């Protein structure tokens, strides 16, 4: 799941650099941060899993929230015509799958 989230984050980062200049400090920057947050929180949670089960769960929860947030930002991109419907569906589906995987991991961990 980390690899999937990381690959998607790179794709979003690269594409967001082509957004209009007025979006570079708004939507594009938020998407870059949000997509990276999914990866970073998965990594940090895994790093802390042996130290604290509660911390592991907390970071997985943050990653789930960031994945859900990214679906909103992706929808904004579609509605603002920065991406086409196929790109939006692909990104949305990837984040739905990542969130499901994270939920499954949290459930199996508890």
State the CATH number of the domain containing residue 26.
1.20.1440.60
Per-residue pLDDT reduced to its tens digit, 3-47: 999 999 999 999 999 999 999 899 999 999 999 999 999 999 988
CA 11 centroid distance within chain: 11
- Cα 105 from Cα 21, distance rounded (Å): 39
DSSP label of 105: H
Per-residue pLDDT band at 110 (split at 50, 70, 90): low
Per-residue pLDDT reduced to its tens digit, 58-83: 999 999 999 999 999 999 999 999 99
> What is the average per-residue pLDDT within 85-93?
97
Per-residue pLDDT band at 51 (split at 50, 70, 90): confident
CB 67 within 8 A of CB 97: no
* 81 SS3 class: coil
DSSP-derived secondary structure for 85-96: HHHHHHHHHHHH
Q: How many distinct structural domains can be found in the chain?
A: 1
Range(s) of the domain holding residue 65: 2-109
CA 46 centroid distance within chain: 16
CB 74 within 8 A of CB 39: no
pLDDT at 68: 97
pLDDT at 33: 96
């Amino acid at each position: 799941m980390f690899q999937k989230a990381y690959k998607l984050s790179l794709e979003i980062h690269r594409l967001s650099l082509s957004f209009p200049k007025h979006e570079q400090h708004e939507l594009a920057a938020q998407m870059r941060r949000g997509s990276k947050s999914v990866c970073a929180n998965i990594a940090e949670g895994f790093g802390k899993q042996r130290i604290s089960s509660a911390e592991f769960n907390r970071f997985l929860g943050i990653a789930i929230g960031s994945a859900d947030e990214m679906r909103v930002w992706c929808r904004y991109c579609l509605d603002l015509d920065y991406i086409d419907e196929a790109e939006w569906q692909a990104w949305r589906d990837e984040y739905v799958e990542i969130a499901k995987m994270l939920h499954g991991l949290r459930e199996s961990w508890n």
